[in-house]
Chains A and B, each alone.
Chain A
């Protein structure tokens, strides 16, 4: 078991190293920017995966935390707070807001929960549009951390680092009691509480973790593009994209959100240059195909395929009513 974990860890380190490669090879700033967005959305997908994948709570309001991260950094930095501290405070603030939001929305289940999360994101967008401190509809400038010719390379590497951090959190979740409890909540809340899981508490914990990471990604995004407006940074599109990335790749799997981000953003960039506006059509078709044929996502689907292969290789398991106890009882009666 431990060896297996060691092997997984090396694979992970290999993947991270591999994903640093574009920073060395690619010189085209546009391509680097695309790579940055892929890495950033992989991080977002992984952050969403904690709530939407493991705990199975379909949130479409995560843009609230994303926006809080970006706006928090912008506002704090304009009051001459150093950037790293500003990012930390903004992320903690988003976590605090997540606690408040969670207390409310986790009272609801299923589609009602999802609707409530959409509302939370929209409330924040409208608030940011109408407040002076957020610059209203005109928006705010966000300080950059890096300058010079290495700009996009360094931002790309930061996004990779964040994605790796999110991956580690997911990895720990998948292999701990915390993760098992979240999965139990996803599969059946009644069963979870019957084995002593405080379901409201665990859902909230997953949201806090997820919100913190999402806010960090928001701050990074804002800082890379240097300018934020509500319609750009607090749009429901970002919430939807986070969810689709995770679900396309495989919600509740470790690699799913990464695969989803590469595929979705890669496809949308490719088709954007070739098909202009109709790229959205292809984007839509891709989603429909995955939902129809791989409802557990690409990684989830592959995992299932491998599992059934392995099962087919093994001799079929005896059915439980052939157990010795039954024949004994039957004789006894």
Chain B
């Protein structure tokens, strides 16, 4: 299968800090890829680079045949890169349904059609009962789902999930993981980023990229990657050895 997303030797500096160092990886169609690494490893920066919120100093990013190295966020979104934010960014005074409609408006200017699309997606994410509530005041678990719903409504080819389970209880995280695993049904690939919730990663990832201090230190199938001693020692901690077995 062809690569949908490809990062080639991407680097990004913030002043003296090299946040991302010479990172390359590929994501295939409808694949679930997870970027993992400890706090400050550069995961969010990678997501910002892919979605156009930042531009790399070196290297290139291609997405389904387009060079998106220098595109602006709204252009990337229109090419099919959907994203969620680590710190959830709902539109607080709008209702849940209106939040999702905003994504749907990318493909229709009709309010009624956007509502229909939004309802379908909210149904999939099991939050139909919340649709008329303002996004402000929802619990975090619902806000995390809302982020996904809004991104999914733009009918992306790829959805970037930045720390999508952080701050959730284990049961909330696993329920969400189940839904993420079903995202390829919507014909969308996933690049997830997770710091430490390895249960989720092991459960749903097809492929893992491990970052540390901005550099890629390992890559491969989840079972293989977590067996690598360096990865276990440095990023997952010894207790996760049991999970792999």
Contact = CB atoms under 8 A, between A and B. Distances in A.
A198 B75 CA distance: 8
A88 B111 CA distance: 32
B127 interface: yes
B161 to A, nearest CB: 12
B103 interface: yes
A101 to B, nearest CB: 22
B42 interface: no
A195 B150 contact: yes
B106 A191 contact: no
B224 interface: no
B102 interface: yes
Nearest to B93: A187
Nearest to A329: B174
A325 B139 CA distance: 17
A115 B182 CA distance: 49
A180 B102 contact: yes
Contacts of B82: 194
B179 A326 contact: no
Interface in A310-328: 311, 317-321, 323-326, 328
B112 A195 contact: no
Interface string B51-68: 101000000000000000
**Main secondary structure on chain A at its contact with chain B?**
helix
A194 B72 CA distance: 10
Interface stretch (B2-10, B25-33, B84-92, B186-194): B84-92
B207 interface: no
A1 interface: yes
A325 B129 CA distance: 14
B105 A195 contact: yes
B190 to A, nearest CB: 16
A191 B85 contact: yes
B141 interface: yes
A184 B89 contact: no
A190 B89 contact: yes
A184 B102 contact: yes
B130 A177 contact: no
Nearest to A310: B132
Interface in B178-237: 178-179
A175 interface: yes
A320 B72 contact: no
A134 B182 CA distance: 67
Contact of A195 (B92, B102, B139): B102
A333 interface: yes
B114 interface: yes
Nearest to B146: A320
A181 B105 contact: yes
A176 interface: yes
A263 interface: no
A199 interface: yes
B175 interface: yes
B77 interface: yes
Contacts, number: 117
B174 A320 contact: no
Contact of B109 (A176, A194, A196, A198): A176
A199 B75 CA distance: 11
A195 B177 CA distance: 23
A1 B115 CA distance: 12
A194 B51 contact: yes
A320 B145 contact: yes
A309 to B, nearest CB: 14
B83 A194 contact: yes
A277 interface: no
A300 B129 CA distance: 25
B74 interface: yes
A194 B85 contact: yes
B89 A329 contact: no
A196 B175 contact: no
B45 interface: no
A197 interface: yes
Interface in B134-171: 138-139, 141-142, 145, 150-151, 153-154, 169, 171
B91 A323 contact: no
B150 A191 contact: yes
A324 to B, nearest CB: 7
B86 to A, nearest CB: 11
Interface of B: 51, 53, 72-74, 77-78, 82-83, 85, 89-94, 98, 101-103, 105-106, 108-109, 111-112, 114, 126-127, 129-130, 133, 138-139, 141-142, 145, 150-151, 153-154, 169, 171-172, 174-175, 177-179
Interface of A: 1, 175-177, 180-181, 183-184, 187-188, 190-199, 311, 317-321, 323-326, 328-330, 333
Given A176-B111, A180-B111, A329-B175, 13 more contacts: A180-B98, A180-B102, A184-B91, A188-B89, A188-B91, A191-B85, A193-B53, A194-B77, A198-B74, A320-B139, A321-B172, A325-B178, A326-B175
